Chain A
């Protein structure tokens, strides 16, 4: 005989199916923005560029992490981050506010495991900027942390997993910052790296030629076993250096540049990176341009747009957002506006 409890549970399951991203308007992307009144919010963006939802944020957001199945997103404060908000994007409810443990700071990015059971948050220790990944369980309780093997980690990315579980790539930017602000403390000695984390250990670590140690590795994207990393140059401004690297496990990284004068216009700064169907792109809000490359690092072309930074793959090319409120689709280098919103889009677009 069916117990009363089981019966009720079954009834609940029928009456209230598990919430999914469809309940949040089926956004394809998430992005933070500053609104016309000076406030901040997290937005869902549909495949055609339209807004699907808007959730106010108490302060400027940076990037976010989306749960693989539930319509939950974590919006991270910008560095040095004292909070991250877990939001129910279907109802708008605040599920949980995450606070880093005493002495730790969120660094603006994070990622879920593929089963959605664990959230990883990129963190640094306030006193020395040493990098950690914070681990949070499905109820968002702190359950541990892992060292990233570097200073000032920034973005992390879940890679398509092997049999033994998820693999994460982490960009150790290499820059130590003041515990209370973003003042850079160690530029002469900075040593950025790229690490692959399997389980709770670093499985592979990649560093560039020491001559490029001023290139802070900060943002990541992947496709077909190639990890793309975007860099920001902290060295002499008149040195023109690559801002995009491509790496396959076990191999040496390939560095990619546009021809001289075009590369110079990026102003030593790549703010986001994305892969889309064999093309990889980086954006520079300082240079007001996006550069596209093939998966071997060959330059394909530049697309200009003021204050462009947000970048994500979309069918046929890339979706971009910018500080002027624009949402654009770039197909084979040809940009087409999808909309102009009364807000300044922040640095990143999270793809669901």
Chain B
């Protein structure tokens, strides 16, 4: 679960007067969000087709990796239909190991909930989606199943559930939420009362995605210097912790470029610096975090990611008159 800043409009900056022309929302939708959700839906369907042909881990792993790659392109968008869907598609971090525990219990009892896609949608969010599938495909305690086993059917159901969610998500963006964003300020639009509010909502996702990469994708595994936590690295069993981070940062860079609509050299430079420091990381699963030199590399990378957040606030957020939410920060 993520606790993040919600951004609102910073009144003193009179955003309506100073903000650049309002094409950023269309650009983000057309060049980033909608192609991204379509690609994810396609990848999830390909995974479903692959599982129907062969449920075994080695056969499924390539299509699962492709679906993960596609998710990294849009995983930072936690608004509209994707707010809830994120929990059931990508439940991470799972600090209580709820996903593994639920899957183990289902397998142990051969729970019939795991045999029908419709029933499976009722099980705990932690046992659904991409991260629960990683457990089934890569965790040695789970991935030794045969075709024809309960686990084989379970994986096919998990994949079908994911494909259905991805299709629904893409449709909801296309038919409902993208029009709401484009239609900001219309008299009947209660979600976005002005065009500036739609921009602020997208900026919140952009900035939140960068924070998530620093605080969760790196913060979880780094723990504290005394207690690093290698097994809290994201998808470490499949060895793609760094890949997730890199793909996510690339997607965020594309989103920033589309939203800003004007050249943002300081932001570009900050992203380039992240790519440089990411290149220095030696273990793509961050399993070397207990080694002081490796930790230092992760700390440097985390610092560069935070610098991207600062650059975004300065060059896009402030220029658009966006500041952290008034009430969400207050707490009373």
Residues of A within 8 A of B (CB): 34-38, 62, 78-79, 108, 154, 182, 218, 232, 237-238, 260-262, 264-265, 267, 269, 271, 285-286, 288, 304-309, 322-326, 328, 334-337, 340, 342-347
Contact: B12 with A37, CB < 8 Å?
Answer: yes
User: Given the interface contacts A108-B332, A326-B193, does A262 sit within 8 Å of B11 by beta carbon?
Assistant: no
Stretch at the interface among B33-41, B182-190, B244-252: B182-190
Interface string of B174-199 (1 = CB under 8 A from A): 00000000000001111101100100
Q: Is the interface of B mostly helix, strand, loop or mixed?
A: loop
Contacts of A262 in B (CB 8 A): 84
Contacts of A309 in B (CB 8 A): 327
Closest to A330 in B: B190
Contact: B325 with A323, CB < 8 Å?
Answer: yes
Contact: B190 with A336, CB < 8 Å?
Answer: yes
B205 CB to nearest chain A CB (Å)? 11
Closest to B78 in A: A265
Contacts of B332 in A (CB 8 A): 62, 78-79, 108, 154, 218, 271, 347
Q: Which listed residue (B83, B88, B125, B193) contacts A324, Cβ 8 A?
A: B193
Closest to A329 in B: B190
Stretch at the interface among B2-10, B155-163, B297-305: B2-10
Q: Which listed residue (B83, B124, B193, B201) contacts A340, Cβ 8 A?
A: B193
Sampled A-B contacts (14; CB under 8 Å): A34-B326, A38-B12, A237-B3, A238-B95, A261-B88, A261-B125, A285-B325, A285-B330, A305-B190, A323-B326, A324-B9, A344-B326, A347-B327, A347-B332
Q: Which listed residue (A260, A326, A342) contacts B11, Cβ 8 A?
A: A342
Closest to B328 in A: A285
B263 at interface, CB cutoff 8 A: no
Contacts of B95 in A (CB 8 A): 238
Interface string of B294-332 (1 = CB under 8 A from A): 000000000000000000000000000000011110111
Contacts of B204 in A (CB 8 A): 306
Contact: A346 with B327, CB < 8 Å?
Answer: yes
Within 94-126 of B, Cβ neighbours of A (below 8 Å) are at: 95-96, 124-125
Q: Which listed residue (A218, A286, A322, A336) contacts B3, Cβ 8 A?
A: A286
Closest to B95 in A: A238
Chain B interfacial residues counted at CB < 8 A: 34
Within 1-45 of B, Cβ neighbours of A (below 8 Å) are at: 1, 3, 6, 8-9, 11-12, 14
Q: Which 5 A-B pairs have the closest CB atoms?
A: A323-B326, A335-B190, A285-B327, A344-B326, A307-B325
Closest to B192 in A: A306
Contact: A306 with B326, CB < 8 Å?
Answer: no
Task: List 7 extra interface pairs beyond A285-B328, A304-B83, A323-B327, CB under 8 A.
Answer: A35-B11, A62-B332, A237-B1, A261-B84, A324-B193, A335-B191, A340-B193
CA distance A269 to B69 in the complex (A): 33
Contacts of B187 in A (CB 8 A): 337
Contact: B8 with A306, CB < 8 Å?
Answer: yes
B87 at interface, CB cutoff 8 A: yes
CA distance A326 to B84 in the complex (A): 24
CA distance A139 to B125 in the complex (A): 58
Within 124-173 of B, Cβ neighbours of A (below 8 Å) are at: 124-125
Contact: A337 with B328, CB < 8 Å?
Answer: no
B94 CB to nearest chain A CB (Å)? 8
CA distance A342 to B196 in the complex (A): 12
CA distance A337 to B87 in the complex (A): 29
Contacts of A35 in B (CB 8 A): 11
Closest to B194 in A: A340
